[in-house]
Amino acid sequence: MNNNGESKRLHDRAVRVIPGGVDSPVRAFQAVGGNPIFIDRGEGAFLFDVEGRTYIDFCMSWGPLILGHSHPEVVNAVKCAVDSGLTFGAPCRAEVELAEFITSKVGFVEKIRFVSSGTEAVMSAVRVARGFTGREEIVKFDGCYHGHADHLLVKAGSGLATFGTPSSAGVPNDFAKHTLVAELDSEDSVRELFDRHGADIAAVIIEPIPANCGLLVQRPDFLKYLRQITKDFGSLLIFDEVITGFRVGWGGASEMYDIAPDLVTYGKVIGGGMPVGAFGGRGEIMDKLAPDGPVYQAGTLSGNPVAMAAGLATLGVMQREGIFSRLEEFGAYFETALQRDERASRYSVARVGSILWLYRQKQKPTRASQIQSEGIDMYNHAHRGLLDRGIYLPPSGYEVMFTSSAHTLDQLDLAADVLSSQAC
Ligand SMILES: *Cc1c(COP(=O)(O)O)cnc(C)c1O
């Protein structure tokens, strides 16, 4: 149905001037078929496309919109900020307030610096980790996404404990060779890397709740093991909480698992829908950054007053409304609803708070390599039909769904029913 309308016309124009017609590849509908839907506006839990169709949104701009689309207080805060100027290239009050807010909520974050994307946050955190330790190697995990910086676009080859190979064209081997790839949920794979390279490893970086390749919830003991082994070898532990920060609770995954990493990265929620990322951690590490230290890091629009205002307003509403208990309650309700129907139970649901993932296999996967394509294929096939019935899911079975405080139980029920009927 959507192949002939205004979205199709816009997509045809887009592909002539924008590669693939999209500014981020995940937005293309390659996995699910058809053309991407062009969006006109969003409100609460709803998206409205350029043809006036309405969808209940479970992509929520990939995570930032924890209060739903166009929350009036966030929109108003942005409008007020805009009236005073778009950017100053000089410090402003809002960045101090946002930094104070975050450091007051997350104990181990003594200092924080703002950037304009999650990619930048991770890139900078890794740089400061290398600068602080004087070491070059980093360890990442197969299936974890940390933005598109060269040295982090590395997936696991078949061999553990081998040097990474680039998974993107355009990344020189020399850039990627300092990235070691381990398996999630495997102490052995991490141990092997430390046995061979321990003295050279600057940092281990992980999404403590990996949510970019399905939702691969880890054993708390595994995360604790990472804390211990990095300590033993004088390496840093970096939690990439660009998705989970201020999404699963005030202290993110680190609070949930009671593990203090040395550095953490944020994005998505803390920008309230504006381009914001941040990295922070122990003061002695962060003090290595220029202008106080030798690790250079900068940004024309970093700490941008309009973006900071959106973040502050979002966190302010979250605090006032105490939204985490509601997100948990509604998330649990949705999880149950998705599985209550005999037919729908063909999907299983992995969930942490308001992050949900549909999969279809007996054993809940904990590693990227364990994900079976059957469930992914089923999801991808169902996607178009779900759109036709007003349910907007992320356009790939490897992506997680998000709920927001704007979703109602009625909407979750409806979506669960539609998903059930579509799963047959
Ligand atoms: C989204 C994401 C990033 C990258 O953030 P961008 O703002 O897209 O650059 C990094 N790490 C994780 C865990 C993410 O989910």
Enumerate the H helices of 148-236 as residue ranges.
173-176, 187-197, 220-233
Burial class (CB in 10 A: 0-12, 13-18, 19+), 134: exposed
| Ligand 1 centroid distance, CA of 285 (Å) | 22
Enumerate the H helices of 273-322 as residue ranges.
283-286, 305-321
pLDDT recorded at residue 163: 44
Whether the predicted pLDDT of 162 surpasses 60: no
Q: What does the pLDDT look like over 206-255, one tens digit per residue?
A: 999 999 999 999 999 999 999 999 999 999 999 999 999 999 999 999 99
Whether the predicted pLDDT of 422 surpasses 90: no
The predicted model scores a pTM of: 0.96
| Ligand 1 centroid distance, CA of 119 (Å) | 6
Q: How many residues does the chain have?
A: 424
* Confidence bin at 173 (pLDDT 50/70/90): confident
Whether the predicted pLDDT of 4 surpasses 80: no
What is the distance between the alpha carbons of residues 142 and 365, in angstroms, rounded to a whole number? 13
Whether the predicted pLDDT of 42 surpasses 90: yes
Residues 212 and 371: beta-carbon distance below 8 Å: no
Instruction: Count CB neighbours of 92 within 10 A.
Output: 18
What is the distance between the alpha carbons of residues 91 and 304, in angstroms, rounded to a whole number? 9
With a 6 Å cutoff on the Cβ, whether 397 touches ligand 1 is no
With a 6 Å cutoff on the Cβ, whether 240 touches ligand 1 is yes
* Confidence bin at 375 (pLDDT 50/70/90): confident
Q: What is the mean pLDDT of the chain?
A: 93
With a 6 Å cutoff on the Cβ, whether 117 touches ligand 1 is yes
| Ligand 1 centroid distance, CA of 424 (Å) | 33
| Structural domains for the chain | 6-70+322-422 (3.90.1150.10), 72-319 (3.40.640.10)
Of 60, 119, 148, 246, the residue with max ligand 1 atoms within 8 A of its CB, to mutate for a pocket test, comes to 119
Active-site residue list: 145, 240, 268
* Confidence bin at 175 (pLDDT 50/70/90): confident
Mean local confidence (pLDDT), 296-320: 98
Tell me the backbone φ, ψ of residue 258, rounded to 5 degrees. Answer: 55, 50
What is the distance between the alpha carbons of residues 65 and 44, in angstroms, rounded to a whole number? 9
DSSP 213: S
* Confidence bin at 168 (pLDDT 50/70/90): confident
Rounded alpha-carbon distances, angstroms, from residue 379 to 1, 37, 303, 423: 19, 18, 39, 8
Rounded alpha-carbon distances, angstroms, from residue 1 to 330, 354, 386, 390: 32, 30, 12, 12
Longest dimension (CA), the chain: 61
Residues 178 and 137: beta-carbon distance below 8 Å: yes
pLDDT above 90 as % of the chain:
85
Provide the b/e sequence for 254-276 (b: ≥16 CB within 10 Å): bbbbebbbbbbbbbbbbbbbbbb
pLDDT recorded at residue 158: 36
Nearest CA to ligand 1 atom 6: 118
Long-range CB pairs of 322-328, under 8 A, 24+ apart, other chains included: 323/66, 323/67, 323/405, 324/248, 324/249, 324/250, 324/353, 326/405, 327/66, 327/353, 327/354, 327/403, 327/404, 327/405, 328/353, 328/354
